[in-house]
Amino acid sequence: MSSQILNSINHQKIEHTPIWLMRQAGRYLPEYREIRAKAGSFLNLCKNPELATVVTLQPLKRFDLDAAILFSDILVIPEAMGMELNFVENEGPKFSNKIMTEQDIDNLDLNDMLAKLEYVFAAIKNCKGELNSTPLIGFSGSPFTLACYMIEGGSSKDYVNAKRWLYNNPELSHKLLNKLSDAIIQYLIKQIESGVDIVMLFDSWGGVLSDAAYLEFSLPYLEKILKNIPQVNHLGSKLPRIVFTKGGGLWLNKISAIGADVIGLDWNINIGEARTIVPANIALQGNLDPVLLAIGDRNALKKEVTRILGSYRAANGFNNTGHVFNLGHGVLQITNPDNVAYLVDLVHELSRA
């Protein structure tokens, strides 16, 4: 059977709507927690290509998913540029030397970065060796989303420090965002050379920006990256590029114009309405609320999946193609894996009918 996800993205005939889930490998899976304990820490796990491969494949062993996503993290780029990264239990990522001055930007080291990230490229090659025909998704954070963590030093509720930079020091902000874009371009080119079939840009925090700030500080850098990475894979076939700005529903017109093949949607927007805004040649990914999957009420889940599939179909000439089912953000840790199995089979079954 040919790849349902690549066919759907390329608007070809599909047998069912393909599905994969952001954070499909992670702490909600007991077998993930076991390997993570063996690795000692999350970062050790990312840096061990053999274990990262095992964890990438875990959800595909359990569920009938249509794609794998490389197990890694968006924050490995700043780490490889010289920032000290730790994942603190229950607190998330922490940089001990956050970006505060222009000198800190100048100190970010692009020269050794790719060599330090060799473990990512090794994991990609390992995964491709194990995956047969299932496509492998590579990814990067967006420049703005990476800058948020680098300036805040970790997760943040309101992004005051990152926004202070944008508003008070736009020139330096652009300097940082340009440097990050160059790093991301090199990183994604190397991921593509190593064998990924699809790439995705996670602009997870773009949606916290004002309209003007998004159009100045996030969108142009997403565009710069898309303009400078290949549109074909290492074998010369078309390589789809997914752009996901969480909270980006307000900017669909503008995101449609930067060269993405797929636009990721969170759960705030109606996918049928999005279909009428986004040009027909661009596929859509999403848009189930992760909380609904975590709660696991089968009736509620079935009702919402039916609604999403129907909304897309009705707006797409009663055809499912061009849709990649996903959550609107990552799988929550409290999710019972049985709910994921139910969802994956449900999406396949309902879209086949």
Catalytic residue among 27, 104, 119, 182: 27
- Tokens representing 1? 């059977």
**Nearby residues of 39 by Cβ (< 8 Å), 6 or more positions away:** 45, 48, 51
Q: Which of 73, 69, 46 is nearest to 58 (CA)?
A: 69
Binders in 60-89 for ligand CP3, by CB under 6 A: 69, 71-75, 87
User: Minimum distance from CB of 316 to ligand CP3 (Å)?
Assistant: 26
Does 276 contact ligand CP3 by CB under 6 A?
no
| Site membership for ligand CP3, residue 117 (CB under 6 A) | no
Binding mask 208-247 for ligand CP3 (x = CB under 6 A): ----------------------------------------
Q: Is 95 in the site for ligand CP3 (CB under 6 A)?
A: no
The torsion angles phi and psi of 284, rounded to 5 degrees, stand at -120, 145
If the CB atoms of residues 74 and 350 are measured against ligand CP3, the closer one turns out to be 74
Cβ neighbours of 307 (radius 10 Å): 14
- Options 28, 32, 66, 149, the catalytic residue: 149
Sheet holding 68-69, edge to edge: 68-69, 136-141, 198-203, 241-245, 262-264, 283-288, 323-327
Is residue 36 annotated as a catalytic residue, yes or no? Answer: yes
73 is catalytic: yes
Query: Which one of residues 40, 92, 129, 170 is an interface residue with ligand CP3 (CB under 6 A)?
Result: 92
Part of the chain binding ligand CP3 (CB under 6 A), chosen from 22-30, 98-106, 181-189, 315-323 = 22-30
Find out whether 350 and 305 touch, Cβ atoms under 8 Å.
yes
Stretch (H or E) spanning 288 = strand 283-288
Considering the complex, state which of residue 69 and residue 184 has its C-beta at the smaller distance from ligand CP3. Answer: 69
Query: Which residue number has the CB closest to ligand CP3?
Result: 204
Taking alpha carbons only, the member of 157, 176, 154 closest to residue 165 is: 176
Helices (H) and strands (E) in the chain, counts: 18, 9
Q: Does 123 bind ligand CP3 (CB under 6 A)?
A: no
**169 lies in the site for ligand CP3, by CB under 6 A:** no
| Cα 136 from chain centre | 12
Whether 182 is catalytic is: no
Q: Which spans of this chain sit near ligand CP3 (rule: CB under 6 A)?
A: 22-27, 36, 42, 69, 71-75, 87, 92-93, 139, 141, 155, 202, 204, 330
